[in-house]
Amino acid sequence: MLYKRSISSSRSNSSKVVFIVVVVRVVVVVVVVVVVVVVEALQCVLTQFRRHGKYSGPLTPKPVLHQQQRKRGREGGIREKYRRRKDKPYVPSVIFGNTRSLNNKLEELQTCCVHLHEFRDASLLRFTETWFEHTTPDQTTAVEGFTTLRSDRTAQSEKTRGG
């Protein structure tokens, strides 16, 4: 017995093979899509477990609500904050320092009063051991935005050392 293939039968077999390959590819794509969706859902559930300790809600993450940000150009400063928050009392801030010769630190102090809000918003700056003498003029010790009150050592106080 001889078996001969006919041309028509070989073509039908090749078309069957092509059809099977196409079906397998479609099935693989569908499986990959399903796996991706399941993994994303599990990640969402895990993040809710980590945040809250339990799962509550749909599988899609909730949008994060941002706090209202302060508008640019809004006035600042301690007096403005007090005006906005009238229910809380105003507490004046005081900066106290033992400087041991303020003469060589005046430029730094003036820079701090311009650039640092702690100094700028302070109600009182109090320094001891400035080592100023009565011959030191008030203009050299002045800080912008503050009134200078001095209590230098004089001969009348009869003090020569600390204490």
- Residue with the bigger pLDDT between 103 and 75: it is 103
Whole-angstrom distance, CA of residue 15 vs CA of residue 18? 5
pLDDT (average), residues 89-118: 86
The pLDDT score that the predictor gives to residue 1 is: 37
Whole-angstrom distance, CA of residue 36 vs CA of residue 60? 14
Measured in whole angstroms, the distance separating CA 146 from the mean position of its chain's CA atoms is 32
The pLDDT score that the predictor gives to residue 4 is: 40
The pLDDT score that the predictor gives to residue 3 is: 38
The pLDDT score that the predictor gives to residue 89 is: 65
Which of 150, 124, 151, 126 shows the shortest CA–CA distance to 138? Answer: 150
User: How many other CB atoms sit within 10 Å of the CB of residue 153?
Assistant: 14
| Res 67 pLDDT > 80 | no
Half-sphere exposure of 96 (CA within 13 A, CB side): 2
The pLDDT score that the predictor gives to residue 65 is: 63
Q: What is the mean pLDDT of the chain?
A: 75
| Res 29 pLDDT > 80 | yes
Give the highest mean pLDDT range of 8-12, 25-29, 41-45: 25-29
pLDDT (average), residues 60-87: 66
pLDDT (average), residues 75-98: 76
- Residue with the bigger pLDDT between 160 and 142: it is 142
